Structure 1
């Protein structure tokens, strides 16, 4: 199966805001996916039960009329464990709760979001789920790798020369691609002794980390700022 075969997958969009649903569906369809849309939480489980073939992915809004997204996520994961789930939320404060609860969601995206990001994250989630099942999609391994023993980050085999703090920042973000980390969360990972430092310290380390990556990959932006929230590691598709 080639990487392009991923683009034929069926995606169920569960979103009660029509404009958002249409926009996401248009981008998914234009990228080769087969999108279907439901706007009420109570319609989701009956729709899934009636289908002979389940969708490969569900884009599931957190706040829905009828059955809420968290309940649906639990139900879908219990009944159809092979269906991938990406949660959509406009409530940034829910992010840690989503990650902390063992709901079985594969990823989450915070609103407002770019529809292109949704397509990229959908592809990434499906690739990860197939890799976990041992399905060969001829996916090329990341060119960015971490040498845990040597505390080195390698881009196309070239050592980026990171400091210990920079390495720790990159490692934390790479463990959860697409997850948005607040500056406070990153500080907790940077300094285990909980020393008091300014949020500007995080910005300074991120700036240096980006500069070192750009020396090897001047055309790539894999560490991205999310205005008013923090930073995320977003590998290119």
Structure 2
């Protein structure tokens, strides 16, 4: 069994605690308007195909520097649960911390098995309004809410990600509703507010897709601060 991998990073500092080895898996069921890696969408366009052991071997080469652990990101890692499961089993045997960066859209028994070998979940809840979530991602919100509720049930540590996109995810009422919802979960350790950027626009052009947010500017510091204040008002660690 081989995992289809788009790329990997040996010195990741934004994908979980410490310096981490990050695998970016190929394939994603979401079509987020602001995606900066649309070249990960199609499952059959992987640059690498590695067995779980070969993937771990890459980690071991730089283990002296990678003190934080291994993060599997995407694309969407849960599209390849068998590979992630076997990789994480190897990581646990080697005493390596495991994290997964996911949209929470794919939630089933295979997902649950992967989570049993996962130390930390980095979860994107991209919007709290179901209609706006679907406009943003082309997929329904409900599976992701089921996912976070299961993570709370098994008390799995979670870091939440929220991309602040002007005119899409910055509505004050929506920010309050999002924060009110996620603040009920005691396993949420922190929230990262990620400012929208256009660094991936050239990738959209390369794959022949229209980038619909080309006229949207990144949020100002004032807009970021407003979201931070709202989230903190619900007791969230931002």
Q: Same fold (TM over 0.5)?
A: no
Give the TM-score range, shorter chain: 0.3 to 0.5
Larger RCO: Structure 1 or Structure 2 (Cα < 8 Å, ≥ 6 residues apart)?
Answer: 2
TM (normalized to structure 1)? Answer: 0.34
Say which one has the larger Rg.
Answer: 1
Task: Report which of the two has the higher share of helix.
Answer: 1
TM (normalized to structure 2)? Answer: 0.34
